[in-house]
Amino acid sequence: MAKRVTKIPATLNLISSQPLSQVKKRRTAGYARVSTDSEEQATSYETQMAYYKNYIESRSDWEFVGMYSDEGISATNTKRRDGFKQMINDALDGKIDLIITKSVSRFARNTVDSLQNVRKLKEKGVEIYFEKENIWTLDAKGELLITIMSSLAQEESRSISENTTWGKRKQFAEGKVSLGYKHFLGYDKDFKINEEEAKIVRLIYRLFITGLSYTAIAKELEKRGFKTTYGKDKWHASTIKSILTNEKYKGDALLQKEYTTDFLQKTRKMNEGEIPQYYVEDHHSGIISPEQFEFVQLEIDRRKSQGRKSGNSIFSSKIKCGCCGAWYGEKVWHSNTKYRHKIYRCNKKYKKGEEPCNSPTIDEEQIKEIFLKSLNSLASIKKEVKQNLQTLLKTVYNTADLERESENLKEELIIISKRIEDLVRENAMSNGNQVNFIGKEERLRNIYNEKFNKFKNIDEEIKQKKDKENEILGFIKNIDSMENSYKSFDKDLWAGLVDYIEMDKEGIAKVIFKGGTVVKVEI
């Protein structure tokens, strides 16, 4: 007997559980996005907004619930797209049944983001219609098509990112520099000096040279009522450090300090040698002279290498204990009385578990007096000191021989590197003995590493000598401008001439000047 099969039609929607016979308008929203702020794209943005509003309202089976949009935002990921995120949240909350958008690439150029959002919406019965590709996401083949189209869009983003990166690096190689001048203290568009802001930059450098720390400089700027480039009253030590170490303030430009590691997430990383950098000299007018800028870099390195902690006073980290070698710190005596005053003493003088240092405690007036005495002694022998320093420059700090050796090693490294490449290529094209090949390659690489380490050491020695040479030249320049005698304390001379003062327990202060000259003064 033949079987008879009767089909019983579905009466409920599989996803929403609503009766299929029930006539209900689909709550529909539009989504528009453009990725730049250009006038042409702005017109496209306005056109998209108007088009989808009219399109949705023209359908009798759709109910327009609103437009969502993001203007001038890249779509490689959805983290910073507020309009997009609001739309997804509203759809998941049951406020939207259908989303209309221009294309898959407008929705997302990231395959993972695209599929995750489509699937989340699909679980809630929310459909997306991509007009250009004619894809409906609740359709059986919708997800496959979206995967393909999203992958293509993602590759397009990769291509655009690589082309943009290539263009920027080509500009860097040609010495072309772009500058976010809106928040660059001291400069307006096209590296034009903003004289009002330049005064603040020069003050920052001057305060650092006198001995103040980053934090102390920030407090001084706040005290004087200067505002940051963002219009804020609060200055930060990190901002001061950035200004003091930015080569653009002397008229040069180091390009490609950072680079993008992931075109999808827009992750930025400091360039530590992974990609080339380009240094452009005399690119624009500097606010700070090159000599002053280099002096500040030397001073930063000096404070760091000697473990000095710059304080709020020009005398901070300039006084050293002759007993234990620790630095003197600033203290306040009688802080809540009319006898309140600052003193300086060894930071380890009363350190727990250790014998107290016998080095004397001194105040600011005593420091000034010591400096004046040493300055006048230096002034009386400045001609002799200058001659000695010039002799040092010609002998001890002459780097000509080291530079020649460095160049020779560099050429040798290039030759060895080429020999290793040739050996690898030769081995790849033959069926020779691998043991012999490995032995030859290992010997060449050992020679390369040995010479490379020597090359690095020589370059470091050259740098140290050059730094010392610059320090001595700066000191010579200062003593050339010295008077024959001084009667009052000069903080600029203090900052420019003195490296530090060593306090002896016997009541002798040794003033060590930056050129290496030492003058002893009785306290």
For 181-305, CATH number? 3.90.1750.20
- Please state whether beta strands 341-346 and 328-333 pair in parallel, antiparallel, or not at all (unpaired): antiparallel
- DSSP string of 442-497, one letter each residue: HHHHHHHHHHHHHHHHHHHHHHHHHHHHHHHHHHHHHHHT--S--SS--HHHHHHH
- Please state whether beta strands 267-270 and 258-262 pair in parallel, antiparallel, or not at all (unpaired): antiparallel
Burial profile 123-145: b = 16 or more Cβ within 10 angstroms, e = fewer: eebbbbbbeeeebebbeeebbeb
Of 3-12, 35-44, 357-366, 457-466, least confident by mean pLDDT is 35-44
Distance CA 75, CA 71 (A): 11
Q: For position 323, what pLDDT does the model report?
A: 84
Read off the pLDDT of residues 202-221 as tens digits, 9 standing for 90 and up.
999 988 887 788 888 998 89
The answer to whether 95 and 66 are in contact (CB under 8 A) is no
Read off the pLDDT of residues 41-73 as tens digits, 9 standing for 90 and up.
445 667 778 888 888 888 888 999 999 988 755
The DSSP bridge partners found for residue 268 are 260
Tell me what the pLDDT averaged over the chain comes to. 79
Distance CA 3, CA 287 (A): 96
Q: For position 20, what pLDDT does the model report?
A: 46
Structure tokens at 319: 């006084």
Where in the chain is CATH 3.40.50.1390? Answer: 26-160
The answer to whether 311 and 327 are in contact (CB under 8 A) is no
State which amino acid sits at residue 483. E
Residues 6 or more apart whose Cβ sits within 8 Å of residue 111: 147, 150, 151, 153, 154
User: What is the dihedral sign for C-alpha 85, 90, 92, 98?
Assistant: negative
Structure tokens at 88: 């997804």
Q: For position 263, what pLDDT does the model report?
A: 42
Q: Is 97 a residue whose pLDDT tops 90? A: yes
Burial profile 215-254: b = 16 or more Cβ within 10 angstroms, e = fewer: bbbbebbeeeebebbeeeeebeeebbbebbebbbbbbbbe
Q: Is 165 a residue whose pLDDT tops 60? A: no
pTM of structure: 0.49
Q: Which helix (H) or strand (E) holds 412?
A: helix 400-428
The answer to whether 73 and 84 are in contact (CB under 8 A) is no
Rounded to an integer, the average pLDDT of 14-24 is 50
Residues 6 or more apart whose Cβ sits within 8 Å of residue 295: 209, 470, 474
Rounded to an integer, the average pLDDT of 121-143 is 80
Q: Is 314 a residue whose pLDDT tops 60? A: yes
At 68 the three-state DSSP class reads: strand
Q: For position 372, what pLDDT does the model report?
A: 92
Where in the chain is CATH 3.90.1750.20? Answer: 181-305
Q: For position 98, what pLDDT does the model report?
A: 93
Q: Is 110 a residue whose pLDDT tops 70? A: no
Read off the pLDDT of residues 357-405 as tens digits, 9 standing for 90 and up.
888 888 889 999 999 998 898 888 888 888 888 888 888 888 999 999 9
Q: Is 131 a residue whose pLDDT tops 80? A: yes
Domain 26-160: give its CATH architecture. Answer: 3-Layer(aba) Sandwich (3.40)
How many Cβ atoms are within 10 Å of 297's Cβ, its own excluded?
15
